[in-house]
Amino acid sequence: MKKFLFSMLFSLCSLWAFSQVTFSPATFTAEDEVTITLDVSNTPLAGLNDIYIWIFSNDGVGGGKDGLVNGQWTNSSETAKFTKIATNKFTYKFTGTTIFGQSPAELINFGFLAKTKDGSKQTPDYKPYKFDPLVFSPSQFRIFPAKLDQTDMATVYFHQDLATDQNLQRLFDVKVTITFYDGAGNQFSQKANIVAKKESDKLYSYSFIPEKLITLPAGTTLSKFSYQFSGNLKDANGANVPYSGPVVEVAYLTFN
């Protein structure tokens, strides 16, 4: 009987803790922007105006990281500060891949707590909350992740077996050209004819981080990049003839 009562009490406490937290949207992937709404009533933070998030990924499943915004336990970063919307109610916005610096494939769940800046008071842990898996529709050209900023690693893909152009279906010696554009939309830098990685018989890819691929002065903002796969075809005499696919543009996420 005691075990049953303890179990019931634990379940009720868990339900109460989770009822303090809501998300918008209610379900989300690691690439979606999420708004946490937190009610700190009946916690040590009740009545305070300034509270901070302490967030962590992959609770209990391995491969987790603390949020890049956390700062030090005794000195939270200002980027971890919640926005107060009412007495004891606060919101915080984040995107999983950005706040943890992990790819969607690496992110399974996350947890968090709220605390004072100096860590002298805190809420219980709220965890775990699962990220929905990403689902993509194969196409002749695609990028992973689908949403990214200029600090992220991007992988561009050419699915040759899905090409609608017969010349692209026959392409060999496949290369890719990456072009970057500054905040005003002007061409900033280009790396041309990079040898693409052959993932399988009909799949090519190339992965890059802008600051590793080009010279990117501190403070430089990139608005987008484009990629174009190219290669060679054989003409009627067996000679190589260059051929290029379409230019595909990808906009970077911007943060105010």
Q: 221 in a domain, yes or no?
A: yes
Alpha carbon 115 to chain centroid distance?
Answer: 25
Q: 9 in a domain, yes or no?
A: no
What pTM was estimated for this model as a whole?
0.55
| Residues 25 and 69 occupy one common structural domain | yes
Q: 189 in a domain, yes or no?
A: yes
| Residues 211 and 110 occupy one common structural domain | no
Indicate the residue among 130, 160, 191 that finishes a domain: 130
Instruction: With CA atoms as reference, report the closest residue to 234 among 140, 167, 164, 175.
Output: 167
Indicate the residue among 68, 97, 130 that finishes a domain: 130
| Residues 110 and 149 occupy one common structural domain | no
Supply the DSSP string of the chain, one letter for each residue: -HHHHHHHHHHHHHHHHHHTEEEESSS-BTTSEEEEEEE-TTSTTTT-S--EEEEEESTTTS---B-TT-EETTEE-GGGBPEEEETTEEEEEEEHHHHHT--GGG--EEEEEEE-TTSSSBPPPEEEEEPBPP-----SEEEESSS--TTS-EEEEEEGGG-SSHHHHH-EEEEEEEEEEETTS-EEEEEEEEEPEEEETTEEEEEE-HHHHS---TT--EEEEEEEEEEEEE-TTS-EEEEE---EEEEPP---
Q: What is the pLDDT along the chain (256 residues), one digit of tens a residue?
A: 444 333 443 333 443 444 599 999 988 989 889 999 999 999 999 999 999 999 999 999 999 999 999 999 999 999 999 999 999 999 999 999 899 998 888 899 999 999 999 999 999 999 999 998 876 667 899 998 877 889 888 999 999 999 999 999 999 999 999 999 999 999 999 999 999 999 999 999 999 999 999 999 988 999 999 999 999 999 999 999 999 999 999 999 775 5
Q: 145 in a domain, yes or no?
A: yes
| Residues 116 and 152 occupy one common structural domain | no
Domain that holds residue 35: 18-130
- From the number of C-beta atoms within 10 Å of its C-beta (0-12, 13-18, 19+), residue 52 rates as buried
| CATH number of the domain where residue 174 is located | 2.60.40
Indicate the residue among 78, 108, 130 that finishes a domain: 130
Q: 8 in a domain, yes or no?
A: no
Q: 256 in a domain, yes or no?
A: no
Task: Indicate the number of domains in the chain.
Answer: 2
